[in-house]
Structure 1
Amino acid sequence: MAVTASLSSELIARPPSYYVRRRLLRNTPAMLGLGFIVLCTLVALLGYWVLPDNSPNANNGLVQLQKEPPGFQATILQLPLPDSNRASSNPLRTWWQGQEPRFREVPIAGYRIEGDSLLTMPYQNHSALADQAQRYSLAAVAGHAGPVATLRQEVEQERIVRRTYWLGTDKSGRDELSRLLLGTRVSLGIGLVAVLISMALGMLIGAVAGYVGGWVDSLLLGLMTVVWSIPGIMLVIAISLALDSKGVWTSFVAVGLTMWVDVARVVRGQMLSLREKTFVEAGRVLGLPQSRLIWRHLLPNMTGPLIVLATSNFAAAILLEAGLSFLGLGVQPPAPSWGLMVNEGFQLLGTSAGFWLTLLPGLVISLLVLSFNLLGNGLRDAYDPKTPLG
């Protein structure tokens, strides 16, 4: 009886998606890639909430701290800004745009308190001239008047902070870790927008070309061939010139409009093989309109190849954006684009900071693109019925 029960459990009919998930979960490289993608997505969604420097674009640079190595620590004196009390602290606005600085920050090498004054020693960087020693009243540093003992305690506990730059600083003295984390928004955002645009446009053109056939197919296939022959970077430059802009959203749209040909060719090929199937003939006999046959019956049968192609286009979009930003044609400063950060580090090669500032953004670009490629390979194997279940 036990043997019969086990055999019957093995013979239970399961949907194809069950076997797809099973094959994918057993693919260790694909799951590692998916894990890194999920981690980057979580960082991008949390945004400024998890950044050490949550100023807009993580652009709070201290020129005295420029080009410092990873693990560097500094003592910072925070001086209240005149309008700091009116600064908005809306969590949603901070998540989307960052928090405007409430203090003017001054790196110091040391300090001592003399009466009702704070005397600070200048911080000297290896690549910047040292400032002069400064004297501040305790009331000005604290932002209000009060007893000297109270002001002294408040200044030492709240206005003089010890900060660690875990990945060092760039040539403008900005926190490299914050800009790398915020750069995930740009890379994943441009990948998502590019995939959505390319999938929508490619599915529409490919489905019409493959299903209608005839002169329509020849015309659309000629359009695909022409667009296919133009390098992606040249297309993005042309689209940016046509839109007369080089902002973040222009880069998103331009990259998306250069990647639809891959999708269209795959959809057209699948459509040519599926349109003669029995279920399509049955739909025609029943009088179903062509639009319903395409969108409700044909395209759902292409889910596997389209998902695999979407992951591939995601990785290609990230690389294309990084290359454009490296050349100065994509995302513009001070937005934290990984390609732009590689360019900034490349300009400093030959210095002690150039190696780290080039390696770190290049490494995260490589890891994210590798993760999407591993996931794409895993999905391709998972949708292949010939792949063993393990």
Structure 2
Amino acid sequence: MNNSPSSKIWKRFKRNRLAFGGLIFISILMLLGILGYSIIPDQTPYANTYQLQLNKVKPGRTFKFLITERIKNVEKADFFEKMLYGQKANFRSVPITSYRIADNKVYAYEYIGDEETAKESVYNLKDLCATCLLPSKLGNTQMLLEKHNIYEQTFYLGTDINGRDMLSRLILGIRVSLSVGIMAVLISLFIGVSLGAIAGYFGGKVDAGISWFMNVVWSLPSLLLVIAISFALGKGFWQIFIAVGLSTWVDVARLVRGQVMSLKEVEFVEASKALGFSTSRTIIKHILPNVAGPILVVASANFASAILLETGLSFLGFGAQPPMPSWGTMIKEHYGYIIMDAAYLALLPGLAIMLTVYAFNLIAIGLRDAFDVKGQNVTV
């Protein structure tokens, strides 16, 4: 039986059902974000296929489409390239309500709304599907047209104001939120652990100077600080990593400083000094491993804060820029419809943000309880 400290911590964490459920939820989000384009209905880059006729379509609607043009010289992406970057469309299509074939022509009624009927559009059958005119054992002309030029698509979460699939853009938005969270937490950990460990270990004027700097940054509102950094670095996806990371390191630094100050006088640290170990080795190999638990708790909480900051910046126009799908941008584009008949356009990304942040907070609480051995039953 494995009785190592890490296994005991994991067992205590699993006993917290809410925290473990939050971990499962985040794991599912990460899997969806990694698979990305390979599992979403709209696999074009950024899920940015406009169908203006289908704007604000209610969830669950299914439409029939007629392929009107084939785009030549479109390279087909392999599986991994498609999963990461999507596949450029090799055709153009229009939503239709019905069609008929007569005299080698296709007469189609395009969809322009539930209450209106479009004029009949006429297409040459030869231009749409040249092989449909040839004798074939696969079926008659209508069957061949159905096979090659007609398809159906179900919009499970409806469409936005530009007729883009909401489900596809919500799933791609996972990548933006989680990637910003991961990079921001890594940046904040690097800066916070470094400055906090130096301040706590050396003390004196070094501690006073670093503490003064931490208090200055601490006094600035996070959102305003991120906006100021964004102005300096410019708008964009990569800039947001740095901006959010530079605004969330103070919590880590304050925690590490206090932990290092309490540990630097204990016996094993004094022993490492007596053995002549370098200061960096003493801090990295002997002190920091003993504060890993509290650091993980703060990092989980900072992950949630980073997601909220990113969505707030995207809402204000400083985050991920269109057409890249971001939950904050989706709310910005649709918040005016909350009091109308399309409230789901803003509620769906808002619900995604709420559940994700809640899950990370649950994980932080679960880690705090798992690493806190006080009050746990100890058997000898």
- Residue 166 of structure 1 is aligned with which of 156, 178, 184? 156
Residue number in structure 1 paired with 2:123: 136
TM score, norm. by length of structure 2: 0.94
Residue number in structure 1 paired with 2:317: 328
Residue number in structure 2 paired with 1:218: 208
CA contact (8 A) 1:68 1:169 kept: yes
- Residue 293 of structure 1 is aligned with which of 282, 301, 317? 282
Matches of residues 65-80 of structure 1 in structure 2 within 5 Å? 65-80=54-69
**CA separation in 2, counterparts of 1:181 and 1:101?**
19
Residue number in structure 2 paired with 1:191: 181
Cα-to-partner distance string for 1:127-167 (whole Å, 9 max, x where unaligned)? 9x765321112222126575166553222123111211000
- 1:232 matched to 2:232? The reply is no
Residue number in structure 1 paired with 2:105: 117
Q: Judge which range, 187-196 or 331-340, deviates more.
A: 331-340
- 1:91 matched to 2:79? The reply is yes
Residue number in structure 2 paired with 1:177: 167
Closer/same/farther in 2, CA of residues 389 and 95 from structure 1, 3 Å limit: farther
Q: Secondary structure at the match of 1:108?
A: strand
**CA separation in 2, counterparts of 1:176 and 1:32?**
26
Q: Secondary structure at the match of 1:234?
A: helix
CA contact (8 A) 1:138 1:151 kept: no
**CA separation in 1, counterparts of 2:20 and 2:185?**
21
Q: Secondary structure at the match of 1:161?
A: strand
Q: Secondary structure at the match of 1:111?
A: strand
Cα-to-partner distance string for 1:336-388 (whole Å, 9 max, x where unaligned)? 111111122212233211x1111111111111111111111011101111354
**CA separation in 1, counterparts of 2:177 and 2:111?**
36
Q: Secondary structure at the match of 2:94?
A: strand
Q: Could you tell me how far 1:64 is from its partner in structure 2?
A: 0.2
Runs of 4+ in 1 over 6 A off after TM superposition: none
**CA separation in 2, counterparts of 1:143 and 1:17?**
66
CA contact (8 A) 2:109 2:120 kept: yes
Cα-to-partner distance string for 1:291-318 (whole Å, 9 max, x where unaligned)? 1001111111111001111110001101
Residue number in structure 1 paired with 2:10: 21
Cα-to-partner distance string for 1:2-60 (whole Å, 9 max, x where unaligned)? xxxxxxxxxx8932222211111111101110110000000011111111101111111
- Residue 203 of structure 1 is aligned with which of 186, 193, 200? 193
- Residue 269 of structure 1 is aligned with which of 258, 263, 279? 258
- Residue 242 of structure 1 is aligned with which of 232, 236, 239? 232
**CA separation in 1, counterparts of 2:257 and 2:78?**
49
CA contact (8 A) 2:59 2:158 kept: yes
Residue number in structure 2 paired with 1:8: none
Cα-to-partner distance string for 1:80-133 (whole Å, 9 max, x where unaligned)? 3332x5333222221221111111120111101113211101212259x76532
Residue number in structure 2 paired with 1:340: 329
Residue number in structure 2 paired with 1:3: none
CA contact (8 A) 1:142 1:151 kept: no
Runs of 5+ unmatched residues, structure 1 = 1-11
Q: Could you tell me how far 1:255 is from its partner in structure 2?
A: 0.7
**CA separation in 2, counterparts of 1:89 and 1:121?**
33
In structure 2, give the amino acid aligned to 1:180. Answer: L
CA contact (8 A) 2:46 2:169 kept: yes
Residue number in structure 2 paired with 1:362: 350
Residue number in structure 1 paired with 2:302: 313
In structure 2, give the amino acid aligned to 1:233. Answer: L
Q: Secondary structure at the match of 2:65?
A: strand
Aligned positions, number: 375
**CA separation in 2, counterparts of 1:318 and 1:126?**
38
% identity of equivalent residues: 46
Runs of 5+ unmatched residues, structure 2 = none
